Structure 1
Amino acid sequence: MLPGRIPPVINSPDKIQLNRLSHVYLAHPDLEKFDQFAKDFGFEEAGRDKDIIYYRGWGKDSCAYVAIKSKDGQKRFEGAAFIAQTEEDFIKSSKLKGASEVRPNLGPGGGKIVTIESPSSSKIHVLWGNGERPAPTKVATSTEIHKGAYNTTLQKSRKGEFQRFKLGPAMVHKLGHYGFITSMFDEDIAFYTLNFNFVPSDILYEEVNGEEIDTLTFMHLDHAKEYSDHHTLFLFRAPANFPDKHRLHHCSFEVEDFDTQLLGHDFLLSKGYTPVWGVGRHILGSQIFDYWRDPTGFTIEHYADGDVVNIDNVTGRTKSEGAASMYIWGPVRPEKGVAE
C-alpha cells in the first residue's frame, strides 16, 4: 500500500456483511426546534421518549433518524446504524476489538444492537432482529394532487391528463448515505473496509509534491451481483490542523423524484429555512441534490435519482478538480463547501 492511497478492496465471506443503512443518531440542544424542521423536511414521527425523538420515512425501515437531547448543550454526531445481513454477522460484529456489550435496541422495531468505534472514534452501530414496516405499495406524498407519466419529446404517454402539484414537505423514503471528515482517513478506511463489506465506488485524489493522495472516497455495501446504492458512507480526509478527530459532513435522505425535491425545496424556503446548496446534479453518484442547514447547524440533504452499483462496477479513480468534481449543473457551490 502506498502512503495516502486506498488499496484495492475485495469483499470476502470472513468480513461482517451489512445488509443496509438504517438510521443516524444526532444530538441537538433544542429538540422541539429541530422537531418542527424535521416535519417540514419530510420525516414522519415514529415515536418519542423523554429526551429522544425517532423519525422514519415511508419505506420499510422502522427508523431513519434519531434526534437526542444534548446533555451538555453541544451538537454531536453519534454515528449510524446498519442492519446485519445475518445473525452470524451480528455476532461477529460484537466480537470486534472495542465493541460494546450487546444491548436491546430501544428504538422502533426493537431487536438488539452493538456499537463499535473506528480509529477516529466515529461510531458504527450494528442491528439485528429489528422489525420492518410493511413494504410500501405506493409512494407517500404531500405534494401531488394528480401525477401521470412524463411526456417526452418522442413519446407522449400522458394524453388529456394534467400534472397538478402543491407545495409541501418532500416526503423522505429512507436514509441513503452519510459521511464525515476524518483526521485519521487512512486508518478509518482500513477499519471500514477490512471489517465490513464496504467497497469504494469512487475515489478522488489530489497531487501533492508529485504524489497522488486520496482525499475522498464514496463506498457502497457490496452484495455481489445484487445492486446497492452508489454510496452509503463517504470519508473525507481532514485538512492539516483540523481541530477534531472526526466531524459529520452531512446525512442524506432519498425522495421520490425531481418534482418532489423541487416542491419540497420551495416549501422549506417558504418556511424561512437556510439553504446551503442546490438544487443541482452531482457527478459521482449522479444524485439530484439540495442541502439545508437545520436549526442546530447540521447539514442535511434531500436526493433523488442516485446511481446503483454491483460487483461488475470497478472502483473509479479521478483527480479532484475542487467544486468542479462535485456537480455537473446547479448553483455555484459555497466557497466553504457544505459541511457543518
Structure 2
Amino acid sequence: MTQSLPFRIPPVANSPDKIQLARLSYVHASHPDLDKFSVFAADFGFLVEAKDNDNIYFRGYGKDKCCYVASKSTDGEKHFNGAAFIAKTERDFNKTCQLPGASKVEQNPAGCGGGSRVTLSSPSGTIMHVVWGAEERPAPVKPESSTEIHKGGFNTALQKTRKGEFQRFKLGPAMVHKLGHYGYVTTMFDEDVAFYTQNFNFIPSDVLYEEKNGQEIDALTFMHLDQGSEYSDHHTLFLNRAPPSFDRGSSNDKHRVHHCSFEVEDFDTQLLGHEYLVTKGYTPIWGVGRHIYGSQIFDYWKDPSGFAIEHYADGDLVNVDNPTGREKSDGPASMYIWGPVRPDGGVAS
C-alpha cells in the first residue's frame, strides 16, 4: 500500500478500511549494561512491573502493564526495537496480520500484559508491534507521586482557589504516567509516512516544510491516532526527514530513533524530577522548556546507553475537527517557544 511521494504529504483522512489503533503502549530497547539502565530508570520515574531472563518490564501508573521493555544487549551495542500499539478491535489485529511483511503471530510478553502480538517494519526498517488481548492495570484515579507532600489548587492572578493551605513538595523521581510518543529520523521519509498513514489511523497534526530551489519539501510531521470525535494526544509518532549529512552508522541503517517521551503529571512534578536527576549526577541534553507543536513542557536526557528520553507535561489534544497544520520550518526555533537554546545537533539518540 506504500508509495513514494513527491516531497509533500498529501491530505490524509481516516477510513474504515484502515487498521484502527487505540493507543501507544510500550517501547522496547536493548542496553549493553542493563543494571546501569535500571538505576537510571528508577531515577527517571519508572517502576518495575516484572523481570524475566534478561528483560525488565518498566511501567508507569497508567493502565498499560508496561511502558518500557529493557533487554540486555546480545552484542554489546544499544538497539531500539520499536514500539507496540494496542489494536482497537480483534478485527483490526487480524487485518494487521494480513499486511505484507507481517510476522507470524507471537505471544506478547507477560510483563506487558500478555495477549498476542504481530510485528511489522516500514520501508526504512522502523519496527512496530500491534497487540491484542493484553491485560490492563486498573485505570488510575489519581497520579502516583514521589515528590508531593501536599498539593492544593493553583492561585492565579485573578482566581485564588487555594486558601489557608500550602504547597509542599520534595525532590524525587518524576513518576511516569504513560508512554506518550516516539519518533525517527529516516532517509525514506515519504515512504515511511505513506506506510503509517495509508495502513493505519495515523493523521498528521502538524507538518513542517523547508523551501529548496523554490520547492516545498516536508521535513517533519507530528502524527496522532485519529479516534474521530474523541480527543487523543497531538502526536504519538513523529518522523523527521534525514538531512544529507545523515550518519547511517556502522550498520548502514536507513533510520535512527530520535527519542521516546513519557508523560508526567504537571510542571511541578517535572521540575522536581529534573532537579532530582541533576542531584543524581545526570546532565540534561535540553530543557526545561516548552515546545510549540504539541505545547508540551519538556526536558530531555541521555540514558546510560545513549538513547534520548524525555519527560513531558501539559500536552495538546486533537480530534477530527482539528485540520492538519502546515508551517515553514524555522530550524531549531520551530521546536520551542521558551527554554534554553537547543544544543547543536539536536537531541537525537
Give the TM-score normalised by the residue count of structure 1. Answer: 0.99
- Superposition deviation, residue 155 in structure 1: 1.1
SS in 2 for 1:277: strand
Unaligned runs of 5+ in 2: none
**Counterpart position of 1:314:** 323
SS in 2 for 1:15: coil
For 2:11 and 2:262, locate their aligned partners in 1 and report how far apart those are by CA, in whole Å: 29
Alignment pair present for 1:287 and 2:296:
yes
Alignment pair present for 1:171 and 2:175:
yes
SS in 1 for 2:110: coil
For 1:266 and 1:171, locate their aligned partners in 2 and report how far apart those are by CA, in whole Å: 13
- Superposition deviation, residue 2 in structure 1: 6.3
Q: How does 1:138-217 map to 2 (within 5 A)?
A: 138-217=142-221
**Counterpart position of 1:61:** 64
Identity of aligned residues (%): 72
- Superposition deviation, residue 11 in structure 1: 0.4
Aligned match for 2:281, one of 255, 272, 284: 272
For 2:86 and 2:118, locate their aligned partners in 1 and report how far apart those are by CA, in whole Å: 11
For 2:312 and 2:161, locate their aligned partners in 1 and report how far apart those are by CA, in whole Å: 26
- The Cα offsets for residues 249-304 of structure 1, whole Å up to 9 and x where unpaired, read as 00000000000000000000000012000000000000000000000000000000
**Counterpart position of 1:122:** 126
Letter aligned with residue 283 of structure 1: I
**Counterpart position of 1:20:** 23
Letter aligned with residue 7 of structure 1: P
Aligned match for 1:72, one of 75, 90, 102: 75
Aligned match for 1:339, one of 314, 323, 348: 348
**How many aligned positions are there?**
340
SS in 1 for 2:99: coil
Letter aligned with residue 141 of structure 2: T
**Counterpart position of 1:249:** 258
**Counterpart position of 1:324:** 333
For 1:89 and 1:128, locate their aligned partners in 2 and report how far apart those are by CA, in whole Å: 9
- Superposition deviation, residue 327 in structure 1: 0.4
Alignment pair present for 1:83 and 2:86:
yes
Name segments (4+ residues, structure 1) moved above 4 Å: none
Q: CA distance change for structure 1 residues 31 and 2 in 2, over 3 Å: closer, same or farther?
A: closer
- The Cα offsets for residues 3-24 of structure 1, whole Å up to 9 and x where unpaired, read as 1001110100010000000000
For 2:5 and 2:255, locate their aligned partners in 1 and report how far apart those are by CA, in whole Å: 23
- Superposition deviation, residue 47 in structure 1: 0.5
- Superposition deviation, residue 335 in structure 1: 1.2
The answer on whether the counterparts of 1:48 and 1:54 sit within 8 Å (CA) in structure 2 is yes
Please, which moves more after superposition, 298-307 or 133-142? 133-142
- Superposition deviation, residue 106 in structure 1: 1.9
**Counterpart position of 1:296:** 305
SS in 2 for 1:217: strand
SS in 2 for 1:98: coil
Alignment pair present for 1:235 and 2:235:
no
The answer on whether the counterparts of 2:5 and 2:191 sit within 8 Å (CA) in structure 1 is no
- The Cα offsets for residues 45-102 of structure 1, whole Å up to 9 and x where unpaired, read as 0101121110000011111000011111111110000000000000000110000000
Alignment pair present for 1:42 and 2:51:
no
Q: Report the aligned-residue RMSD.
A: 0.9
For 1:171 and 1:132, locate their aligned partners in 2 and report how far apart those are by CA, in whole Å: 19
The answer on whether the counterparts of 1:19 and 1:85 sit within 8 Å (CA) in structure 2 is yes
